A and B are shown apart, each in its own frame.
Chain A
Amino acid sequence: MFGLQNPTKFLKFAKLTGPWFAVASVLLIGAGLWFGLFSSPADYQQGETVRIMYVHVPSAWMGMFAYSVMAVASAIALVWKHPVADHIAKGSAPLGAGFTLVCLVTGALWGKPMWGTWWVWDARLTSMLILFFLYLGYMALSGAFDNAERGAKAAAILAVVGWVNVPIIKFSVDWWNTLHQPASVTKAGMPSVDPSMLLPLLLMGVGFTTFYATLLLWRVRSEILQTRIRNIRLAQIHGEG
């Protein structure tokens, strides 16, 4: 894939594209916030609280997206022993866990005035909570071995197995008719959200994606450098032979 499996080339690529992603995410999230907070109407039922959606929904998307990136990168690392894919999977996990946590917290903040409770055991909420625990398990497992390579491999298998949860989250609102409202943006045909609200939501969605890409490139860069430092230290300890 474009020679990016070579860590040196990847470093170059990350150095080149990273700033662009950063600028794009600042612009997109800025525009999304402006449209979301000032230029879009309040909802006729939910009032001003609807605005939390512009953070809540993109974080939910990113929570699932980051897990999918992690699972695909892990599968690539397992099958082709692609050295950068391991770093991508490992770098994606804390970001995804962060997005999932933001999604859960903003959902609770919104649920208190709207549903009258911080938390309900609804299918969507529960499966999102499981996703958060899967992230924690992944990070704990990859850090639990003295040999970093073994940790990466074990965690990669877990990431692939745990991916079964992502479609469950996606379709939970269609399969179980519980409290969480059904999907309204990704409907077949026309999305059922008014354009004035859809615009900031999509801006935030793309903005969060570029923000994630910026941080991911950053983390992968530091992972590659850390691996190099460790290899240099090992070479020093064991002598140059």
Chain B
Amino acid sequence: MTRYWELLKRELRLALRQGSDSMMVVGFFVLAVILFPFGIGPEPSVLARVAPGLVWVNALLAAMLSLDRLYQGDYEDGSLELLILTPAPLEILVGAKVTAHWLTTGLPLMAAAPLLAIFLNLSAYDLGVLLLTLAVGTPTLSLIGSVGAALVLGARRGGVLISLLVLPLFIPVLIFAVGAVDAAQHAFPWTGQLAILGAILLGAVPLGLYASAAALRQAAE
């Protein structure tokens, strides 16, 4: 467990010192959402109607943008091999990487969501539900994305390939997250969809950690 914290601290320190990377993801997220009122017209009721989908689709794309950096740097400078050689289980170290990825992308996305809620005419109550779905859903994105990022190490045009591998697997998260906010907008109960999101997250933890670790091991062979 100490190695988990050590690696997490290292990743966060790296992210803080570079700084711009995680800001770029949030910048992309906000800008891409802002494009839609220009594209589909500024009608407030229409915007509120499509807001949950807009926010979520753009959150998926933004999270995906940051994925190719997750293991690429470590793979290129050789520190990935050192990570694999450390006595701690690789799954724990992957967990630290994923946690760091979520803290530097998922969490900033959540922080930007209230601003977008104002732009898109989303009520405070719906924003609350949206934030809850982001809180439960974005860790799943980091976990699934970690598998994709580990698989394409050393592949040709890996960045494009990640989107083909990871986006289909993101779709269930998207469906239930948007379903929950939609239900909240129409004053229906939404805890069921949130519970399914939680179940997906719980399933993604072991699957994502083991599959990422296996992919990293074969990449470093």
Chain A residues with CB under 8 Å of chain B are 78, 126, 130, 133-134, 136-137, 140-141, 144-146, 150-151, 153-154, 157-158, 160-162, 164-165, 168
A133 to B155, CA, bound (A): 19
B161 partner residues in chain A, CB cutoff 8 A: 137, 140-141, 144
A78-B214, A140-B161, A141-B161 given as contacts; is B207 within 8 A of A164 (CB)?
yes
| Inter-subunit contact A157/B211 (CB<8 Å) | yes
| Inter-subunit contact B168/A133 (CB<8 Å) | yes
B215 partner residues in chain A, CB cutoff 8 A: 154, 157
Select the stretch in B40-48, B75-83, B86-94, B146-154 that faces chain A: B146-154
B167 partner residues in chain A, CB cutoff 8 A: 133
**Most chain A beta-carbon neighbours within 10 Å: one of B147, B161, B168, B211:** B168
B147 partner residues in chain A, CB cutoff 8 A: 157-158, 161
B171 partner residues in chain A, CB cutoff 8 A: 126, 130
Query: Chain A contact residues: over half helix, strand or loop, or mixed?
Result: helix
CB distance from B22 to the nearest CB of A (A): 26
Q: Whose C-beta in chain A lies nearest to the C-beta of B165?
A: A137
B136-172 to A contact mask, C-beta < 8 Å, 1/0: 0000000000010001101111100100110111011
| Inter-subunit contact B218/A150 (CB<8 Å) | yes
B165 partner residues in chain A, CB cutoff 8 A: 137, 140-141, 158
A140 partner residues in chain B, CB cutoff 8 A: 161, 164-165
| Inter-subunit contact B156/A134 (CB<8 Å) | no
B157 partner residues in chain A, CB cutoff 8 A: 144
CB distance from B160 to the nearest CB of A (A): 9
A168 partner residues in chain B, CB cutoff 8 A: 172
Contact of A141 among B155, B207, B219, B221 (CB under 8 A): B155
A78 to B152, CA, bound (A): 17
